Amino acid sequence: MAKVWRYGDNIDTDAIIPARYLNTWDAAELARHCFEDVDQTFAAGVRPGDVVVGGTNFGCGSSREHAPVALKAAGVSFVVAANYARIFFRNSINIGLPLVEAPDAVGSIKAGDDVTFDSAAGVLTNRTTGQSWTVRPFPAFLTEIVAAGGLIPLTRRRLGLEGGTSAGEGGGDAGEGDDR
């Protein structure tokens, strides 16, 4: 089951990975310290496929890409939040950590619930309560980054360094969710 780890509003990147561990870029090591200052049970208890759920402005603060890297390496399959801080959003998309923006859903999801996301259908389901929500899809350019496997593979393709001609557009500031 995809167990939920529930956090509040304004979860900052220092909470996700404290800066004292930014002396390494080793993903497994970062994962061992994920949420260390705000939830001492997370790193030991998280299982592959688990889900992190926050409120508004998730990932605010520092630009450290170590934050989504730590979440991904900890086995988090996706994050659900009411909305995201912009640099965290970009970083997550760029490295292939799926994010779900579901302001209507977060109030109904509790720690320990079993939550799944069908990305093709855009449906978020809380299997514990039986509720489900349709999630607004990301714009096409952003979906393209995800489909390409992240910003680096997309850039390679666009520069003609992989698989022939430049294909489509995408990248950069794709993640600006609010006014899409």
Partner 1 sequence: MSLTLDIFSARAGKRVEPGELVEVDIDLVLANDITVPLSIPEFNKIGVKKVFDPRRIVLVNDHFVPNKDILSAEQAAMARRFAREQGLPYFFDVGTMGVEHALLPEQGFISPGMIMVGADSHTCTYGALGAFSTGVGSTDAAVAMATGRMWFRIPPSIQVRFEGKAKPWVGGKDFILYALSRLGVDGARYASLEFAGEAISALSMEGRLTMCNMAVELGAKNGIVAEDDVTRAYLAGRTRRPGVEPRVAWPPRTQTSSSVAVGQSKAKAADDGSYAAVHVYDASKIEPMVARPHLPSNGAAAADLSGTRIDQVVIGSCTNGRLEDLQVAARILTGRKVHPDVRCIIIPATPTIYRQAMEQGLIEAFMEAGAAVSTPTCGPCLGGYMGVLAAGERCVATTNRNFVGRMGHRTSEVYLAGPAVAAASAILGRVATPEEVA
Interacting residue with partner 1 among 32, 77, 86, 132 (CB under 8 A): 86
Instruction: Give min distance, CB of 118 to partner 1, in A.
Output: 26
* CB 84 within 8 Å of CB 109: no
H helix runs in the chain, sequence order: 13-16, 27-32, 42-45, 66-73, 86-95, 140-148, 151-158
Instruction: Give min distance, CB of 46 to partner 1, in A.
Output: 18
Interacting residue with partner 1 among 51, 71, 90, 146 (CB under 8 A): 90
Interacting residue with partner 1 among 128, 141, 143, 167 (CB under 8 A): 141
Interacting residue with partner 1 among 76, 87, 99, 146 (CB under 8 A): 87
Instruction: Give min distance, CB of 6 to partner 1, in A.
Output: 17
Helix/strand/coil for 39: coil
Instruction: Give min distance, CB of 131 to partner 1, in A.
Output: 26
Q: Which of residues 24-63 bind partner 1 (CB under 8 A)?
A: 24-25, 36-38, 56-57, 60-63
Q: How far apart are CA 52 and CA 91, in angstroms?
A: 16
Burial of 42 from C-beta contacts in 10 A (0-12 / 13-18 / 19+): buried
